[in-house]
Structure 1
Amino acid sequence: MGGLRQLRVFVEVARHKSITKAAEYLHVSQPALSKSIMALEEELGMLLMIRSNKTSEITDAGKVVLEYAQKMTLLLDEMTDTLNDMTNLTRGQINVGLPPFIGSLFFPRVMAKFHHTYPNIGLNITEYGGARVVKSVEEGEFELGVAVLPIDEKLFHVYPIVEEEMKLLVYKDHHLASKDEIDIKELKDEEFIFYHEEFALHQIMRNHIIAAGFEPKILFKSSQWDLMSEMVAANLGITILPQSICNRLFNKDIKIINLKQKILWKLAVITKRDRYISNAGRTFIDFILNERL
């Protein structure tokens, strides 16, 4: 069968849904990439992709090829990792998936320290929303991911790294601002600045609010905690954020209040259960577990 490189190229085009974007990602020219796809189609005798100016949609045959191509590239990556581990313990490349919320909070310092300790291990970080990180670890795009618990422990190894409480943020002159502790039930008539759906916190907090007896009135959804807090400071609504984010807010227009319900934000490094984890990957996990994030 045609080159493994052709399969890798096909996986990237399918992932980006665009020959242009895949070509940029792979640092190859678009004509070379199109030629590679056409060669694969010719060899298999089937159309794998419907190309238009904007996007490239895969056909039913393409979906079958994609499924096998992903398995094959994952096995090849594992083979490379295993061979690297036999020759050198402190080399390698780790692909890590991080939700943006988490990346900006905990990881710059840890990554700098890790890079200083293990300069020969490359860290390839990709920021995705939480649900997509989990899916990408499951599919093998990332060797490691960071996710919000709970997570399916039948599919993943879970290494807890952070556990902290969620806090309520209100405007300084808000009618609840004089309180030290608030029951979620008291927020029934409030307008929420909420997390985007792709964040695990969206569903976690929505479940807690519904358990308190009401559906939250969501004024605005965001994927950026600094924007969420700025909107509270402008008296546009209330929000609920993890303690470590609250620790970074130095806005005198915001009052931070404890919630009567102790809602915990738990983060963990996750790896796929049946996947070979490289020495570089295991080194990174051990490093994070030994660091105080």
Structure 2
Amino acid sequence: MTLRQLEIFVTIVDSGGFTRAAERLRVAQPSISQQIKQLEDELGERLIFRMRNQKMFLTEAGKVVKKHAHHILRQSDILRMEVASLTQDPVGEVYIGVGVHQLMPMVAPVLGSFHQKYPRVRVDITNVPTPQILDLLKNNRLDLGIVVLPVSDKELHTHVLFSEEMVVVVRKSDRLAQKRQIGVAEIGGLPLVLYDRNTKMRVCLDEFFRKEGISPTIVLELNVVETMMTMVEAGFGATIIPVSAINALPYRDILQPLRIQGRRLTREVGVATTSFPRVPKLIDELLRLIQERFTKFDVAVSKPAA
């Protein structure tokens, strides 16, 4: 059994077939078939069944190999890149996930500084919601992710970056815009543009509604906060978002944040890392840069217009 055979097997599974795997690996398909045949012969079990319609499925033995192959290949990557990181000019790859879309402008300079320090290290960035970032971390596809906390998975390590207030946001032309605060009961009477149900923020908001006995009137569900604010500006209703989003230009000039009276609804943002990052030295350095950047993060609520 070789690492190359396991790499080919994983690529076939991930790409959904021998032909696509051959294209991705840039090798002839007969060579791929031969490698899989050798792997099956050594293990004494059929791993993949190929149907006449070109579809394929894994046998029980194939499922076992898939389970372990990802881990073996990852450990191989860790070994190779950890040794490489011992040099003054390390070479390798780090895989970063950003599950908080509006923080990308703050994360980008950090990654830029990291790239200047380690020009031969490739940084791969994935920008999807927190639940997907956590799945990618657990499946060893990412080394580090910026996510909405808390994270319940004990396999992941988390570091708090900051906590910020959630505010109700309305158009500046709205009658509520002259107020500094909004009552909990008033929120129930507003048409709301909310986060999609598959996001961590929506889970947080739904829990808040449940505790406060609010039956929200939801007119739109979206997963990009900038789009949510655009819909509020267009007159669809109000939204509830982190204060950092409304403080960003141009939104603070056209929308008005309102604190929730008598309540402090917050979200906590942090970094989640795997137990076995590909290059511990590089991930530790990247984590240090991120923490340093966010200690200067100002999330004060803007004052209402006079």
TM-score band by shorter chain is: 0.7 to 0.9
Preserved CA contact (<8 Å) 2:99 2:148 = no
Preserved CA contact (<8 Å) 1:170 1:255 = yes
- Per the alignment, residue 286 of structure 1 pairs with 288
Instruction: Decide which moves more: 233-242 or 158-167.
Output: 158-167
- Per the alignment, residue 240 of structure 1 pairs with 240
1:38 deviates by 6.1
- Per the alignment, residue 107 of structure 1 pairs with 107
Describe the superposition over 1:74-98 as per-residue Cα deviations: whole angstroms up to 9, x where unpaired.
2112211332233446443211122
Q: Residues 62 and 85 from structure 1, CA distance in 2 versus in 1: closer, same or farther, beyond 3 angstroms?
A: same
Preserved CA contact (<8 Å) 1:97 1:126 = yes
- Per the alignment, residue 11 of structure 1 pairs with 10
Structure 2 counterparts to residues 73-92 of structure 1, below 5 A: 73-88=73-88, 90-92=90-92
Q: Residues 248 and 75 from structure 1, CA distance in 2 versus in 1: closer, same or farther, beyond 3 angstroms?
A: same
Q: Residues 257 and 51 from structure 1, CA distance in 2 versus in 1: closer, same or farther, beyond 3 angstroms?
A: farther
Secondary structure in structure 2 of the residue aligned to 1:86 = coil
The count of corresponding residues between Structure 1 and Structure 2 is: 291
Secondary structure in structure 2 of the residue aligned to 1:155 = coil
Q: Distance in 2 between matches of 1:72 and 1:275?
A: 14
Q: Residues 27 and 34 from structure 1, CA distance in 2 versus in 1: closer, same or farther, beyond 3 angstroms?
A: closer
Q: Residues 146 and 9 from structure 1, CA distance in 2 versus in 1: closer, same or farther, beyond 3 angstroms?
A: farther
Structure 2 counterparts to residues 1-293 of structure 1, below 5 A: 1=1, 3-15=2-14, 17=16, 26=24, 28=26, 31=29, 35=33, 40=39, 44=43, 45-48=45-48, 58-88=58-88, 90-99=90-99, 101-102=101-102, 104-152=104-152, 154-251=154-251, 252-260=253-261, 261-273=263-275, 277-292=279-294
Describe the superposition over 1:101-157 as per-residue Cα deviations: whole angstroms up to 9, x where unpaired.
155342122222222233233211122321121122122111112211111373222
Q: Give the TM-score of the pair, scaled to structure 2.
A: 0.80
Larger Rg: 2
Secondary structure in structure 1 of the residue aligned to 2:194 = strand
Q: Residues 89 and 117 from structure 1, CA distance in 2 versus in 1: closer, same or farther, beyond 3 angstroms?
A: closer
Is there any run of 5+ residues in structure 1 with no aligned partner, and where?
none
Q: Residues 243 and 83 from structure 1, CA distance in 2 versus in 1: closer, same or farther, beyond 3 angstroms?
A: same
Q: Residues 265 and 33 from structure 1, CA distance in 2 versus in 1: closer, same or farther, beyond 3 angstroms?
A: farther
Q: Distance in 1 between matches of 2:258 and 2:52?
A: 52
Preserved CA contact (<8 Å) 1:95 1:144 = yes
1:217 deviates by 3.0
Q: Distance in 2 between matches of 1:114 and 1:166?
A: 31
Q: Residues 210 and 21 from structure 1, CA distance in 2 versus in 1: closer, same or farther, beyond 3 angstroms?
A: farther
Q: Residues 105 and 52 from structure 1, CA distance in 2 versus in 1: closer, same or farther, beyond 3 angstroms?
A: farther
Q: Which amino acid aligns with 1:11?
A: V
1:188 deviates by 1.2
Q: Give the TM-score of the pair, scaled to structure 1.
A: 0.84
1:41 deviates by 5.1
1:205 deviates by 1.5
Q: Distance in 1 between matches of 2:208 and 2:286?
A: 34
1:47 deviates by 4.2
Preserved CA contact (<8 Å) 2:163 2:266 = yes
Q: Which amino acid aligns with 1:259?
A: I
Secondary structure in structure 2 of the residue aligned to 1:104 = helix
Q: Which amino acid aligns with 2:260?
A: L
What is the aligned-residue identity percentage? 24
